[in-house]
Each structure stands twice: as structure tokens, then as C-alpha cells.
Amino acid sequence: MAVKQIYLDNNSTTPCDPRVVEAMLPFFYQHPGNAASRSHPFGWEAEEAVDNARKQIADLINVDAKEIIFTSGATEADNLAIKGVFEMYARKGNHIITLTTEHKAVLDSCKKVEKMGGDVTYLEVEENGIVDLAKLEAAITDKTILVSIMWANNETGVIQPMKEIGDICAKHGVLFMSDATQAVGKIPTDPKEVGVHLMAFTGHKMYGPKGVGALFVNRKNPRVKVTAQMDGGGHERGMRSGTLNVPGIVGMGKAAELAKAEMHQDAERLSVLRDKLEAGFKERLEEVYVNGSVDHRMPHVTNISFKHVEGEGLMMTFNQNIAVSSGSACTSASLEPSYVLIALGLGDDLAHSSLRFSLGRFTTDEEIDFTLKAISEGVTHMRDLSPIWEMYKEGVDLESVEWSEH
């Protein structure tokens, strides 16, 4: 097989489906209008294209088109939801509950809210990455205005019990917001079915373009509003000002339409490949650990630790050919190991040894075979270089060693 670059980092971003690019192109030059220009055909065309995309996206998640607010991405949508709810419902309360395993877009927005006088509870998760429902309910007070829990985790793929959380929130009259960036377009994500009132997601995780995302804001029972974080013109029902990214939105719409049609077969196909990858590593190597719940997770993700081998070093043995991510400290700008894996109780050493594989629409069976071979060889090579692998093989109890930390 000709060696090409294999992309197994779809949780980081996905390539645009060629059909998406095709749909976008006319809106750069042939139909370049501003969707807010009411007075001429250029504007009307753009508005129509946006309306169409809005409908395609709403259909994907079974909501009304009026409930879709376009943003520059999921990060902005998370910011809008958290800060927007905090400001809008200030008279009702100031308490927000979220999880330690949320994306930074949620965690950092919560930190900002704390500086603005908010009170945030960051709940721990169980070892499988899932929130304990009793602990969640116990954390709710009469000042709680929002629960923010992601649908599927970006590092482990773990899926939270959304309906059960929705029921708890409904029972206590608390808004339920979800960062569904990793789930929308890949598994059925129906906010109204589970009781989610606000939902953030983006184009570039579902084979659409980067730079465009959306926030679902429930309009009926209850009618939810958010205070705009972007002011200037009152676009998107006053919730998010700024000229709409027409080509991007068209692309995201097309991506949503394709996802609705192809999501199930993609998921089926990819879960087989993912399982093959996991089983393959376990067969070829010792001391292989899968992180996070294997029962409640995305079909295309596996987060694996190869014990006694550091992630960045391991990646260097194959990253010219295969793209994945690692939870190792060495791969983060802050030199901290993955906080998500630490929250699962992994222990720093397993976090440093982890690789995240996120398969995608364009992943093939041959690529999985190549990956199994190349990475197994890489692990073996790195273990030959590893003093702690040698110690483990000699039967040394590494927990009892006095390391000279530094």
C-alpha cells in the first residue's frame, strides 16, 4: 500500500466533505451578498441561502429553524450560552453546575462568570467518565440557573446520560445547556427529546468548514433567551450581532444535510474499525488500557494508554504518516497532562502514555491495518528505550520506587 498520510484526529477537526466545498463556492464570488442587505437580489439570495442552511441544521437536530443562532464556532456558542444565561437570568440566581471534564471553552467561560460574581460548582466524574446523577441533583440549590454538561467528551468519546440529566433539570426548573460539538452530526442529538435547552456545536467537526458554528436556543416551553455577547446591529434575533459568514453557513448546512443522511452508516462502519483497532493493539501488545467508559461512548473514538511509553515520544515514531492526539504533558502548551484523563482517576503516568484515535468518514480498513502495524512497532521500539518498562518486566513494583522528582 502506498504510504500516505493517515488522519485519525477527527475529534480535533474534520476535512471538509468535497460536497460541502462545492456547495460553498458560489457564495464567495458569484453570489457574494450580505444576508442582511434587504434592498437587492444579492442580499435576498444570501438570506435565502442562510435560511436554507438554518433549516438543514435545524432538521439535523429536530428543532425549529428559529431556534438556531449562528456564531463563529462552538467556542463562541459555549461562551454565549454560559455568559448569556448568567447575565439574562441574574435576578433568578447566580449558580452554575458543570463538570471537570468539560472543554476549556466551557470551563474558561465559567471562570469568567466567577469573576463576574457567579458561583460555579465543578463536579467530579466517576472513573468511567460519567457524572453521578445523585451528586448532580444534590448540587442544585435555589440559586442554580444553569447546568452545563457536554454530550460527548472530546478526549474519551464518553457520552453522558443526557435524558436523565434533563429530567433532573426539568424537575428543579434549571436550564440545561450542552456542548454537543463532538456529538452533533455523528450520533442522533435531539435536544428537545432529552430536555436540553441550549446546545453548542460547530461545522468543522462534521465535515464542514471551520469558522462557523451554532447555538440552539429553545423557544417554547420554556422560552429561553441569552444576553448577546457580540453587540452591533442586532443580528440573530438580537442574540449575536455580526455579518453572517454566508459561505460558511451554507457549508455547515450542507454538512448537516449529509450528516443526517449518512450518520448511521458512518457510525456503524466506524465502530467496527474502532473495535478492530482496540482489539488489534490488545492482541499485539501487553499493558494496553482503554480510557473511559466503553459502553457509553462515541462509535469512532478510542483513547488508549500504552503503559511505560510516553505519548509524544511514541508519536514521533509514526507522526509523519499517522495523525492522532495525545494526553501527554509534552504535547500541551502548558506542560500539564490531560485534565480530562486525570479527572477519570487515571494517574499522571497513564495520562502521559495516552493516544486518542478519532476515526472519520474517510478512514479506511487498510489505514487501520497500517496503523496497527506501525504503532505497535513504535510502542515496542519505545519500550526498548524505556527504563520503567525494563523495571516492570523485572517485576519491580513501580509504585514503591522513590522517584527523585524535579
Partners of 304 in beta bridges: 290, 355
Rounded Cα gap, residues 10 and 20, in angstroms: 17
Rounded Cα gap, residues 59 and 40, in angstroms: 29
Candidates 5-13, 35-43, 247-255, 310-318 — which segment interacts with another protein by CB under 8 A? 310-318
Tell whether residue 390 is a contact of another protein (CB under 8 A).
Answer: yes
Q: Smallest distance from the beta carbon of 351 to another protein, in angstroms?
A: 8
State the catalytic residues: 330
Candidates 34-42, 43-51, 243-251, 308-316 — which segment interacts with another protein by CB under 8 A? 308-316
Q: Smallest distance from the beta carbon of 387 to another protein, in angstroms?
A: 4
The torsion angle over the Cα atoms of residues 328, 329, 333 and 338, rounded to 10 degrees, is 70
Question: For residue 332, how far is the Cα from the chain centroid?
Answer: 17
Rounded Cα gap, residues 6 and 375, in angstroms: 12
Query: What type of residue sits at position 35?
Result: A
Cα angle for residues 122, 217, 98 (degrees, 5° grid): 5
Closer CB to another protein, residue 194 or residue 375?
375
Rounded Cα gap, residues 324 and 299, in angstroms: 16
Tell whether residue 312 is a contact of another protein (CB under 8 A).
Answer: yes
Residue 192, CA atoms < 13 Å, CB-side half-sphere: 16
Q: Smallest distance from the beta carbon of 324 to another protein, in angstroms?
A: 14
Which helix (H) or strand (E) covers residue 280, if one does? helix 246-284
Closer CB to another protein, residue 303 or residue 363?
303
Give the contacts of 380 (CB within 8 A, at least 6 positions apart): 285
Under rule CB under 8 A, which residues in 329-388 are in contact with another protein?
329-331, 333, 335, 337, 347-349, 352, 384-388
Tell whether residue 395 is a contact of another protein (CB under 8 A).
Answer: no
User: What cell numbers appear for 171 in the block?
Assistant: 424537575
Closer CB to another protein, residue 190 or residue 348?
348
Candidates 58-66, 137-145, 176-184, 322-330 — which segment interacts with another protein by CB under 8 A? 322-330
Closer CB to another protein, residue 1 or residue 333?
333
| Binding string, residues 146-185; x marks residues near another protein by CB under 8 A | ----------------------------------------
Closer CB to another protein, residue 274 or residue 383?
383
Q: Smallest distance from the beta carbon of 27 to another protein, in angstroms?
A: 36
Residue 141's alpha-carbon distances to 3, 107, 251, 264, 383, in angstroms, are: 57, 20, 42, 39, 50
- Applying CB under 8 A, the site for another protein has a residue count of 29
Q: Smallest distance from the beta carbon of 6 to another protein, in angstroms?
A: 19
Q: Which of 45, 179, 266, 310 binds another protein (CB under 8 A)?
A: 310
Given the C-alpha cell 492526539, which residue does it identify? 325
List alpha helices for 61-194, DSSP H. 74-88, 104-115, 133-139, 162-172, 191-194
Binding residues for another protein, per CB under 8 A? 308-310, 312-313, 316, 328-331, 333, 335, 337, 347-349, 352, 384-390, 398, 403-406
